[in-house]
Every structure is written in structure tokens, then in C-alpha cells.
Amino acid sequence: MRIGTARSSYRHDESLFDSRTQHGWLAVLAVALLGFPFLADEYWLYLACLVAINIASTTGLNILTGYTGLVSLGQAAFMGIGAYTVAALEQKLGTPVLLNLLAGGFVAMLGGLVVGLPSLRVKGLYLAIATIAASVVLHFVFANWHAVTGGHSGITVAPAEILGVSFDTSFRLYWLFVPITILMVLGAANLFRTRIGRAFIAIRDRDISAEVLGIPLLRYKLLSFGLSSFYAGVAGGMWAYFFRVVTPESFPLIMSIFFLAAVIVGGMGTILGAILGAIFMTMVPEALKLIVGWLPLSADATLILSPVRTIVFGALIVGFLVFEPLGLQEIWRRIRRFFHLWPFRA
């Protein structure tokens, strides 16, 4: 009886320690996010805004691919829908920024619901090909619907403005993008504590069993597509305000592959994995660029080594797939566990 009481007390103390540690890390992260824009230069603020956009879109794709098990290569196209919606509303109606972003998300959601209709009949590689086909169709619409999209010339977007404050620099956009991304990540994290999130996971693990248990597959698959597309649309809207011009070439298929790789590298089916994957995929090419720039090489040698950065980047992704298929979140979990247990190791 005493042994059981002691074990129960130990587990209680350990859970309290983990909770306090987690709150401590969140406090450190909050301080870092608040202080970063005052310490960073324009280049790092630019990267921070880009990372925030990519985290938002990767989190949306993780809902669809990581949690529901539906492979999509159309995330960039849905970002394009959101970006064009925001650009058109900003140019023609001058509606508020936050309303534009929400509208971009909902219009992209409608597109996602349409694209998600085949998901009841096909899955895996066939569904991926269906989303590629949808991307091709949407790219054709972006390039040829001149009255709305401006064709290949695209649409120029005015700076975001809230309460008379123009968000025309990376410093100001940071204070717009980062809170929006945090809200989107928290929304995704809380989603999987609900019945809807558990239904997504059940469909991913075994859709036939989920249907036997009474989960309507089409409804939840469409809902997953819609939520993922909503996240992509909001991210696309932020992208439009960030780069200030939207063209059909802004959202190629390789961009969708980028987001799918971020989900895989970070760790499928985890919120932290989407965050780490987006940061990794955004920052590693920039880090390789800086390393090549620091080397004492001539301009011709730098030009020759430029493709090498792409090769190294691809090799890193393949390395994760081979040696750590659970992604960066698993590496982080192991690091936390090591340092948590280290003082007590024999």
C-alpha cells in the first residue's frame, strides 16, 4: 500500500514538473517572440514573416495529410485562391485587412470542398494525382481569368492597413502575421481534442473501421479538406500582403511539394512537427546560401556551387526519411527526454 502511494505521489510530482516545464518553455517562447523584432535586422524579419506564413499553410496541410491521412499536392493552389481573393478585395473594394484574410480563407475552403469530393472513392496516390489535376486547372484559371486575376500580369496589392497604420515593412507585418499564425496553430491543436479531430484520426488509422463505428467518411473528409484549404487561403492572403503582387507563377506545383515535405520532415500528425518542418524547410536553404556566401570564392565559383545547395537540401530531406521517419518532432522529444532524465542516469 505504501509502495503504491509512493508511486502515485511520484507520478503526480513528475506531471507537475512536466507541466511547469512546459509553461516555462511557453513563457520563454513568448518573450523571444516579443523581443525578436527589436533585435533583428530587416533580413531576419523578412525570414520571420515568411516562416509565419509557411507555418500557417503547413499546419493546414498537416490537418489533412498528417491527421486525416489524405495526401494532397494542391496546397499552393489553395494559397493562390486566398491570395487572389485578398488582392481583388483590397484593390476593388478596399475592405478591412482581417475581413479580407477571412474571405480568402473561406473562398479557398469552398475550393477545397470541391476538390475533396473524389476523396470518398480514391485515396493515396490516386488522390494525390487528383489534387495535382486541380492545381493545373486552378493555375489555368489564374492565368486566363483576366477580369479577376489580371492574367499573367497579376494584381498589385496595396499595403495592409489597420486603424490608419500601414503595414508596409517587415517589422510591422511581423506584428500582424505572427499573432494570426499563433491563433491558427492553437486552433489546430485544440481541434484534436474534439470529436471532429478524433474522427479525423480514426479515418487516418482505418477508414473502414471508422465507417463501421458510425463516422460518415465523406462529411469528415470534406471537412478536413475544407479546414486545410482555409488555412492555405489565410496563408495565401498573408503572402499577398507580404510580397504585394500576386501572379500565376507565385504558386507553382513545387510549392505544394515544399509544404508536403515540411509535413514529412517535421513529423506527420503532430502540431509541433508542422512548426518545426516549416521552419526547417524555410531556413535551411537560407543557411546554405549564407554558408556559400561566407566561403572565399569567386563569383563564378559561387554561381557553380548554387545548384549544390539544392542537392544538399534534397539530401537532408532524404536523410530524414531514411534515418528519422518520425521527423524533427521525434528528435526534439528525445532531446527533452534525455535532459529530463540526465541527472538521474546511472
H/E/C letters for each residue in 100-161? HHHHHHHHHHHHHHHHCHHHHCCCCHHHHHHHHHHHHHHHHHHHHCHHHHCHHHCEECCCEE
| pLDDT classification of 174: cutoffs 50, 70, 90 | very high
**C-beta separation of 229 from 78 below 8 A:** yes
What residues are paired with 166 via a beta bridge? 161
Confidence check: pLDDT of 10 > 60: no
Per-residue pLDDT at 298: 59
Q: Which of 101-105, 114-118, 195-199 has the lowest mean pLDDT?
A: 114-118
Place of cell 481583388: 88
Q: DSSP assignment, residue 94?
A: -
Confidence check: pLDDT of 141 > 90: yes
Phi, psi at 155, each rounded to 5°: -125, 130
- Mean of per-residue pLDDT scores for the chain: 85
**The domain 41-341: what is its CATH number?**
1.10.3470
What letters, b where the CB count within 10 A reaches 16 and e where it falls short, cover 248-280?
bebbeeebbebbbbbbbbbbbbbbbbbbbbbbb
Q: Which of 71-80, 235-244, 276-285, 335-344 has the lowest mean pLDDT?
A: 335-344
Confidence check: pLDDT of 9 > 60: no
- What is the spatial distance between Cα 25 and Cα 22, in angstroms, rounded to a whole number? 5
Report domain extents, the chain: 41-341
pTM over 0.75: yes
What whole-number percentage of the chain has pLDDT above 70?
Answer: 86
Task: Say if residue 177 is exposed, middle or buried (CB neighbours under 10 Å; 0-12, 13-18, 19+).
Answer: buried
Confidence check: pLDDT of 59 > 60: yes
Per-residue pLDDT at 220: 92
- What is the spatial distance between Cα 58 and Cα 37, in angstroms, rounded to a whole number? 23
Query: Could you give the dihedral angle defined by the CA atoms of residues 87, 89, 90 and 94, in that order, rounded to the nearest 10 degrees?
Result: 170
- What is the spatial distance between Cα 289 and Cα 15, in angstroms, rounded to a whole number? 43
Work out the average pLDDT over 253-269.
Answer: 91
